Amino acid sequence: MTADLFESVGDTRPSRGVMADGAVLLRGFAKPFEGELLPALRVIVKQAPFRHLITPGGHRMSVAMTNCGSAGWVSDRTGYRYDAIDPESKQPWPAMPPVLRMLAARAADDAGFNGFAPEACLINRYVPGAKLSLHQDRDELDFAAPIVSVSLGLPAIFLFGGAKRADKTARYRLEHGDVVVWGGPSRLFFHGVAPLADGEHPVLGRQRINLTFRKVR
């Protein structure tokens, strides 16, 4: 499992792009970390397996998820929230491995948000057809910190809008190793993921893994 398995031959995409004021797309930023990153994720998932959460409205999310860090994001009929305890195992969530913490901090630094220290990492698994509707990340108490989102596996279409749900959304194709960071003026912008197209990643297979780092408190 080496980095050269994921290099895009002849890729002429800009390595860094501004999506909005405070929002940056870092192409391939996570690739140098993947030798440690993927084994660390397997350990987390073994301890806290993926599950499909239920929304407060009673809907089963198409995206499977788990968490690591001092808190994890959970959803059920009582609402959305962060909790230090995995509701399935009744144990604390797995600790956030140093490689994940380092990746998030360095991406935030590159995007202009120095000193980012994530407390939670949401780990989402998309299979073909899975999607994430437009939403804001507003369950955190600290909106001064950015969101750092890492894409692994199959490509996905990331939808990034504005401060209102009705604002026009831009579409960005995210590939393995791409990282999106948004904060400051765009911290509460609506965003989502279009239904995942079918495909086969050389290592991760027919899935996309998304890591979302957040400062919760």
Query: How confident is the model over 152-186, as pLDDT tens digits?
Result: 999 999 999 999 999 999 999 999 999 999 999 99
Q: Is the dihedral of CA 145, 83, 189, 194 positive or negative?
A: positive
Q: Are strands 120-126 and 170-174 parallel, antiparallel or unpaired?
A: unpaired
pLDDT for 66 equals: 98
pLDDT reading at 7 higher than 50: no
| pLDDT above 50: residue 98 | yes
Q: What is the pTM of this model?
A: 0.92
Give me the percent of the chain exceeding a pLDDT of 70.
Answer: 94
In terms of Cβ atoms closer than 10 Å to its own Cβ (0-12, 13-18, 19+), residue 92 is middle
Domains of the chain: 15-214 (2.60.120.590)
pLDDT at 14 over 60: no
pLDDT at residue 11, rounded to an integer: 46
